[in-house]
């Protein structure tokens, strides 16, 4: 069962969870244009703290900008509304889902003057790829579906419709017995997971896909920052699937997936076949930071 909370913020007001409804002819439901965010709030010793909230709200507004959607609230208003939604629901750690969508009005592809609606829901959500996955790593399949071309998916935007491509990959991976998919780009280079960015470690160097066909992940940026602070050499450089196969370590990053080690790709063992030492070091620091145990990175925490 879905872990319901009490209230959902909808267009500036709180409504009961079960009453947060839209008309079946809501434009976004038919044509896929909705921009959204996935954010996490962690419980810390100083109370609940949202991780990099400003960066997530900024990305939400940039996603809307790419699609010329005019959000009828300011960034500050949405920022405050997220914190208020957590407070109202009296929840200490949660996943946060703000969504901006084209409401009910006209039909047809062109969104015309349909209202732009905004909702924010929060709920308790554990490890996205499983607690065991976080510890031991997951099994991944290279998808037969490719990430859309950079001029089809304007990938700096986090847009509902793009996740149809992700779902093709995820459904295929699960039905073949894997935990997650990795997609290649239109030129055959490794792009990202269905909802995660990807990193590999080879000869002590940490490498991730450059910002081309991928979402500009906030966890990706966090990992690049903390790796530099740990004196690990980093590169944002394209790599092929065979380089992934022979990497010493690999992991996915994402707000939902956090830092999930990859132990196998297409039935090839990666490194030692479980979480590698550099992955573990980065993962430990990441969890210390989000849980408020490392004062050096307090700037990334917004206390509720
Ligand atoms: N790529 C895709 C396709 C995603 O859906 C996500 C999750 N938002 C990511 C990467 C990781 O982004 P972030 O670290 O900001 O959650």
Domain that holds residue 82: 7-123
Q: Is 251 found in the same domain as 145?
A: yes
Return the ligand 1 atom nearest residue 214 CA: 1
Q: What does the block give as tokens for 273?
A: 């076949």
Q: Is 255 found in the same domain as 155?
A: yes
Cross-strand bridge partners of residue 261: 251
- Looking at 123, 142, 169, which one is the last position of a domain? 123
CA of 107 to the centre of ligand 1 (A): 30
Q: What does the block give as tokens for 47?
A: 């109370």
Would you give per-residue pLDDT tens digits along the chain (304 residues)?
A: 788 999 999 999 999 999 999 999 999 999 999 999 999 999 999 999 999 999 999 999 999 999 999 999 999 999 999 999 999 999 999 999 999 999 999 999 999 899 999 999 999 999 999 999 999 999 999 999 999 999 999 999 999 999 999 999 999 999 999 999 999 999 999 999 999 999 999 999 999 999 999 999 999 999 999 999 999 999 999 999 999 999 999 999 999 999 999 999 999 999 999 999 999 999 999 999 999 999 999 999 999 9
Q: Is 144 found in the same domain as 273?
A: yes
CATH of the domain at 73: 3.30.470.10
Return the ligand 1 atom nearest residue 38 CA: 8
Q: Is 170 found in the same domain as 109?
A: no
How many domains, the chain? 2
Q: Please say if 170 is a catalytic residue.
A: no
Q: Is 143 found in the same domain as 118?
A: no
Q: Whose CA is nearest to atom 3 of ligand 1?
A: 195
Site to substitute for ligand 1 among 217, 226, 286, most atoms within 8 A of C-beta: 217
Q: Is 263 found in the same domain as 172?
A: yes
Q: Is 252 found in the same domain as 193?
A: yes
Return the ligand 1 atom nearest residue 219 CA: 14
Return the ligand 1 atom nearest residue 256 CA: 16
Q: Whose CA is nearest to atom 11 of ligand 1?
A: 254
CATH of the domain at 214: 3.20.10.10
CA of 162 to the centre of ligand 1 (A): 12
The ipTM (two decimal places) reads: 0.99
- Looking at 93, 123, 153, which one is the last position of a domain? 123
Report the pLDDT value the prediction gives residue 112, as an integer from 0 to 100.
85
Residue 295 included in any domain: no
Q: Is 102 found in the same domain as 69?
A: yes
Q: Is 191 found in the same domain as 162?
A: yes
Residue 204 included in any domain: yes
Query: What does pTM read for this prediction?
Result: 0.98
CA of 196 to the centre of ligand 1 (A): 5
Q: Is 114 found in the same domain as 155?
A: no
- Looking at 89, 123, 157, which one is the last position of a domain? 123
Residue 1 included in any domain: no
Return the ligand 1 atom nearest residue 197 CA: 10
Sign of the C-alpha dihedral computed for residues 53, 59, 65 and 68 taken in this order: negative
Q: Which long-range contacts (CB under 8 A, 24 or more apart) does 66-69 make?
A: 66/154, 66/156, 66/157, 67/33, 67/35, 67/157, 67/159, 69/33, 69/35, 69/100, 69/102, 69/111, 69/116
| Contact criterion met (CB below 8 Å) for 40 and 255 | yes
Q: Is 276 found in the same domain as 187?
A: yes
**Got the DSSP string for 95-149?**
EEEEEEEE-SS--SSS-TTPPEEEEEEEE----TT-HHHHHH-EEEEE-SSPPPP
The residues, any chain, with a CB within 8 Å of residue 45's CB and separated by 6 or more, are 292, 293
Catalytic residue among 7, 158, 170, 207: 158
**Beta pairing, strands 234-236 & 205-208:** parallel
Q: How far apart are CA 164 and CA 225, in angstroms?
A: 31
Site to substitute for ligand 1 among 38, 96, 162, most atoms within 8 A of C-beta: 38
Q: What does the block give as tokens for 84?
A: 């208020």
- Which stretches of the chain are assigned E, i.e. beta strand? 7-10, 13-16, 34-36, 39-44, 47-51, 94-102, 116-123, 138-142, 180-184, 190-193, 197-202, 205-208, 234-236, 249-254, 258-265, 268-269, 301-303
| Contact criterion met (CB below 8 Å) for 72 and 83 | no
Q: Is 108 found in the same domain as 209?
A: no
Residue 161 included in any domain: yes
Q: Whose CA is nearest to atom 4 of ligand 1?
A: 195
Report the pLDDT value the prediction gives residue 1, as an integer from 0 to 100.
72
Residue ranges around ligand 1 (CB below 6 Å):
38, 192, 195-197, 214-215, 217-220, 253-255
Residue 297 included in any domain: no
Report the pLDDT value the prediction gives residue 2, as an integer from 0 to 100.
80
Sign of the C-alpha dihedral computed for residues 85, 89, 90 and 94 taken in this order: negative
CA of 72 to the centre of ligand 1 (A): 25
């Amino acid at each position: 069962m879905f872990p319901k909370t009490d209230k959902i913020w909808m267009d500036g007001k709180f409504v009961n969870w079960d009453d947060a409804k839209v008309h079946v002819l809501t434009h976004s439901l038919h044509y896929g244009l909705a921009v959204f965010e996935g954010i996490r709030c962690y419980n810390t010793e100083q109370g609940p703290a949202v991780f990099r909230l400003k960066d997530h709200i900024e990305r939400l507004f940039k996603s809307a900008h790419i699609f010329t959607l005019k959000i009828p609230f300011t960034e500050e208003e949405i920022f405050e509304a997220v914190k208020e939604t957590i407070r109202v629901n009296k929840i200490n750690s949660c996943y946060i889902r703000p969504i901006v969508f084209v409401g009910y009005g006209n039909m047809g592809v062109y969104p015309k003057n349909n209202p732009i609606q905004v909702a924010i829901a929060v709920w308790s959500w554990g490890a996205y790829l499983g607690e065991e996955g976080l510890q031991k790593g997951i099994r991944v399949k290279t998808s037969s579906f490719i990430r859309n071309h950079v001029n089809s998916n304007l990938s700096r935007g986090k847009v509902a419709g793009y996740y149809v491509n992700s779902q093709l990959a995820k459904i295929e991976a699960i039905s073949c017995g894997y935990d997650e998919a990795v997609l290649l780009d239109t030129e055959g280079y490794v792009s990202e997971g269905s909802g995660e960015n990807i990193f590999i470690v080879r000869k002590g160097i940490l490498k991730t896909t450059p910002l081309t066909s991928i979402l500009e992940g906030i966890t990706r940026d966090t990992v690049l920052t903390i790796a530099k602070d740990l004196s690990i050499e980093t590169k944002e450089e394209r790599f092929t699937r065979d380089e992934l196969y022979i990497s010493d370590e690999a992991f996915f990053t994402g707000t939902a997936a956090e830092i999930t080690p990859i132990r196998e790709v297409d039935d090839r063992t990666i490194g030692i076949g479980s979480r590698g030492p550099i992955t573990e070091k980065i993962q430990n620091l990441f969890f210390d930071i989000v849980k408020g145990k490392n004062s050096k990175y307090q700037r990334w925490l917004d206390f509720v």
